[in-house]
A and B are shown apart, each in its own frame.
Chain A
């Protein structure tokens, strides 16, 4: 499997997928015009990765804000990772700015929706960014 790096745009996040290190990283805003089309290669990669994952998979999600179709897509993404847990120790870091309560609440929702998963809410001090 290959590494994937996608540059951020004004409305899509920076994406970094590393199969050797077991890292899945998304950072930025997400409100593409066609969300499912935009994320199709990412979802394909993750499905492929989930067949033979590393012992530990670290997922870093730092999303400032996103549209509702992205919300649905993230749910599907976490669902794939949730089913991969018998093969890999999955740690999801849901990173949000201290001042961005909305992003925190979105993370809390995912924690409730995936009770078996190790989803960690990581507060970031905006001053230290």
Chain B
């Protein structure tokens, strides 16, 4: 199943900078982040866009790492991440992993709120949640998706049911185009 989905991602007219599928660990994430930094310099990507790409990459890959760490036999703890550039020259990051239905409900609530909010509203929500300390016991502090949304042009997501307990979570953050350096 993952194979089919991956082939959808690798379209001929898109440029892929980095792709990885498997278990996520911190050393891997660090190495991939540094690779993205080097690539950004090579392609003369503006500092703003380059840091946005790196921040969204770190946020998403550490999410996947936290899933990789879960010792739950029912879940396949592997994930997929792709960094690419689409036909409109927008840089994007795509991730895919398997989550529980329970997590799906939580994620869906956050993402649907983000989807209908303006950038200013997202920024406001981010600061409110950071201040309130709600979810602060969680690894991401509960503001990870807001951080991603703040740095993206737009986000897309989809849940695909596997069985009664699990589903695929597919997420895409379209970050933006390279602006000419002033």
Contacts and interface: CB of A to CB of B under 8 A. Distances in A.
A34 B151 CA distance: 23
Contacts of B51: 64-65, 100, 102-103
B140 A69 contact: yes
A99 B181 CA distance: 10
A33 B123 CA distance: 25
Interface stretch (B8-16, B52-60, B86-94, B157-165): B52-60
Given A10-B34, A71-B147, A72-B141, A109 B62 contact: no
A59 B89 CA distance: 41
B130 A102 contact: no
A75 B131 contact: yes
B147 A68 contact: yes
State which size class the interface on A falls in. 20 to 34
State which size class the interface on B falls in. 20 to 34
B152 to A, nearest CB: 13
Contacts of B62: 31, 33, 67
24 contacts: A11-B30, A11-B33, A31-B29, A31-B58, A32-B26, A34-B139, A65-B51, A65-B58, A66-B55, A67-B55, A67-B140, A67-B144, A68-B140, A68-B141, A68-B144, A69-B141, A71-B143, A72-B136, A73-B141, A100-B47, A101-B47, A102-B55, A113-B127, A113-B130
Given A10-B34, A109-B127, 17 more contacts: A11-B26, A11-B30, A33-B26, A33-B65, A67-B140, A68-B141, A68-B143, A68-B147, A69-B144, A71-B141, A72-B136, A72-B141, A73-B141, A75-B131, A99-B48, A102-B151, A109-B123
